[in-house]
Chains A and B, each alone.
Chain A
Amino acid sequence: MDVKIRVATKGDCKDISRLIMDLAVHDKMSDQVKLSCDELQRDGFSQNPLFECLVAEIADENKSKEGFTIIGYALYFYIYCTWKGRSMYLEDLYVMPEFRDWNIFCLMSLLMSSSGFGIGKSLLSNIAQVAKEKQCARLHLIVLNWNSHSLDFYTARGAQDLTVKEGWHLVHFDGQSLDHLANETQQIRKCVSGEDKVV
């Protein structure tokens, strides 16, 4: 089956939104999805996009059970590492389950040929190509600790688990905690010639 990996357009937003929700369901966090398709379109396809996206597209004759031809995506943006410079962050990489190489029919060929996740692999290769062209020093991403397929997928391609290896934890302020932080009344103690003053 031929799969085309291409840059997403505004017209793909409805499909990307659908796949974002699919991924959230897979991660068992679908209640955390609050963004609408319109907001996604505004954020990704306006003059100053906050992210870029690649989609995996198949021919109509191979469409999914529900009739979809956009069957995978990779959403990413640029970050900055103070030690290495411009880098990339892969926020989402997802292929619809029915198009993964993980069913009984494929399992035998998988055991013989080690072909792995064909479409996911293509998406990741294309991401790496973009990173290379944009002179990115690193590619970062996060994976859930129970998602052994994804952990193995990335590790097999050279990724290092910095949480396990170096102890890095991802920390987050949001909603109310962010508002409280913004409104915290601060007093900076000013030390002038040995005299303590509250500014």
Chain B
Amino acid sequence: MFVVAELLEDGFGETPFYHCIIAEVPGGDASQDSKVVGFAMYYFTYDPWVGKQLYMEEFYVMDDFRGLGIGSEILRRLSDLAVKTRCTGMMFVVAENNEVSIQYYKRRGAEDLSQEEGWRLYRFDKSSLVKMATPTEE
């Protein structure tokens, strides 16, 4: 089972595998800590046709804090970071039944490459990978 400790080491250890930005709101009164209400997790990928890309792995705002522009600001910060770090694009996946999200992204100029160009996402899980791996020579 994947645990918090692994998430911590993987993102904040010597070699981070991902980066995160968070949205926080102040606590109700002076004695309360601020509260994290949204986040995006991302890392850098590569398209050999056009170069470095920013890949948004997770993007979420708590229900009670939607409609306030927090999601849009997170997206704006990520895209600003993408441009500043020499990325030519930003990519992510969206579930096809998530019409609200799909329209949200399309209104902002995103293209659905699965629909428009026919790309299908494939995945090998660990057991398939182990089966395919070249056996070590004895």
Main DSSP-derived SS at the B contact region: mixed
Pick the residue among B7, B90, B115, B127 that contacts A158 (CB under 8 A). B127
Q: Mark A73-93, 1 if CB is under 8 A from B, else 0.
A: 001011111111110010110
Q: Known contacts A178-B89, A179-B83; decide if A132 and B117 are in contact (CB<8 Å).
A: no
Cβ–Cβ < 8 Å partners of B119 in chain A = 142-145, 163, 170
Pick the residue among B6, B93, B108 that contacts A170 (CB under 8 A). B93
Cβ–Cβ < 8 Å partners of A12 in chain B = none
Cβ–Cβ < 8 Å partners of B82 in chain A = 178, 182
Task: State which residues 44-95 of B face A: CB under 8 Å.
Answer: 44-52, 55, 57-58, 67-70, 72-73, 75-76, 79-80, 82-83, 87-95
Pick the residue among B48, B112, B127 that contacts A75 (CB under 8 A). B48
User: What is the CA–CA distance of A191 and B70 in the complex, to the nearest angstrom?
Assistant: 12
Asked if residues B111 and A20 are in contact (CB atoms below 8 Å), the reply is: no
Asked if residues A158 and B95 are in contact (CB atoms below 8 Å), the reply is: no
Q: Known contacts A181-B79, A189-B68; decide if A138 and B121 are in contact (CB<8 Å).
A: no
Which residue on chain B has the smallest CB distance to residue A163?
A: B120
Q: Known contacts A138-B126, A181-B76, A182-B76; decide if A143 and B109 are in contact (CB<8 Å).
A: no
Which residue on chain B has the smallest CB distance to residue A48?
A: B44
- For the complex of A and B, 8 pairs with smallest distance between CB atoms: A177-B109, A158-B128, A174-B89, A128-B132, A169-B114, A181-B79, A145-B118, A163-B120
Given contact pairs A163-B121, A173-B90, A189-B69, a sample of 18 additional A-B residue pairs in the complex whose CB atoms are under 8 Å apart: A20-B48, A34-B51, A80-B41, A91-B45, A129-B133, A140-B121, A140-B122, A142-B122, A160-B125, A161-B120, A168-B96, A169-B93, A169-B112, A169-B113, A170-B91, A171-B91, A172-B110, A178-B83
Q: Which residues of A contact B (CB under 8 A)?
A: 20, 24, 29, 32-35, 39-40, 43, 50-51, 75, 77-86, 89, 91-92, 122, 124-126, 128-129, 131-132, 136-146, 151, 154, 157-164, 166-184, 186-191
